[in-house]
A and B are shown apart, each in its own frame.
Chain A
Amino acid sequence: MPGDLISAYLAELDHLLPAGLAEEIADGLAQACEHHLASGLSWDDAAQAAVAEFGDASRLAAELTRHAPGRRAARCLLASGPAVGVCWGAALIAARAWTWPVPDAARLAFGTALLMVVAVLASAATSQHSYRRTRLAVPASVGLITLDMTMITAVLTVAPAVTWMLAIAITASLTRIGLAATLVPRVLAR
């Protein structure tokens, strides 16, 4: 049954891809079907030829996932981690940040939140087959922006003085906030 074949293919795409992408492929599949019908094939053969032309649905979804903007955004933000981390680490050690009046619970909460954000970013960055998982880059980016802003606010509030090393670390965080804020709309747009 050609209708069943096409429906099953589209149902699999709907399951694997976001609505916009699945609709784009569905339109292409319908056009492929029409093209084969116009060339003289029967409905059955046209549907089979169209599905064969588009190939395995999971492979197509995996290829689209590999180029997903969320995956690229997550990789980009993860790549910024070591540089920003080194800036903050060096600045906090130099400023003897452990002597600042910050509750241990707050330090622990910040560290835990940072690890969670990194884990979610890593999950989005390494997604091979799930396009939806690449969209985890959005909440992770919002989390990263929040953490960077928290860090900057905390330093400006409790540090006895803003040293040049702290100024560099703050600049690094502000740059990353700008990067994340630029990437989020791109991921949401697709």
Chain B
Amino acid sequence: MKAEAQLLKGHLDSLLLATLEAGPLHGYAVMEALRQAGGSRLDLPTGTIYPALRRLESAGLLDGSWSVVGGRKRRTYSLTAAGRRKLHGDRAAWREFASTVNSILEAAPCPAT
């Protein structure tokens, strides 16, 4: 499980960018969207999500904006043009990587000599 968490962390930025591709979301909604998409495997802790959103915002990949909902201040994140480009790049790299790994893992075993 620990290895799986590390693997997820390695792809955290791409996962967050992909979650926000459809439209702006606030931090808790991002967590919920990840949970719904990936079940318990993507139940990332708050201590991971909020700092990562801020980091992506600092990097210019997300744009954060404040609104007031039900008397509470809410910060909503949306993809910037740079974030969208990064997501497309990450997605292409992941497809290529997954395809390579699949071709090896799914290949029929070589006959013993």
Residues of A within 8 A of B (CB): 20-21, 23-28, 30-32, 35, 53-55, 59-60, 63-64, 66-67, 69, 72, 186, 190
Whether A35 and B32, one on each chain, are in contact in the complex, defined by CB atoms closer than 8 angstroms, is: yes
Whether A26 and B51, one on each chain, are in contact in the complex, defined by CB atoms closer than 8 angstroms, is: no
Residues of B within 8 A of A (CB): 26-29, 31-32, 45-48, 50-52, 54-55, 57-58, 66, 69, 72-75
Whether A31 and B28, one on each chain, are in contact in the complex, defined by CB atoms closer than 8 angstroms, is: yes
- Which of chain A's residues has its CB closest to B55's CB? A67
Known: A24-B73, A55-B46. 18 other contacts (CB 8 A): A23-B75, A24-B75, A25-B27, A27-B73, A28-B26, A28-B50, A35-B28, A53-B46, A54-B47, A59-B47, A60-B50, A63-B47, A63-B48, A63-B51, A64-B50, A67-B52, A72-B58, A190-B57
Residues of B within 8 A of A64 (CB): 50-51, 54
Residues of B within 8 A of A20 (CB): 66, 75
- Which of chain A's residues has its CB closest to B66's CB? A20
Whether A66 and B51, one on each chain, are in contact in the complex, defined by CB atoms closer than 8 angstroms, is: yes
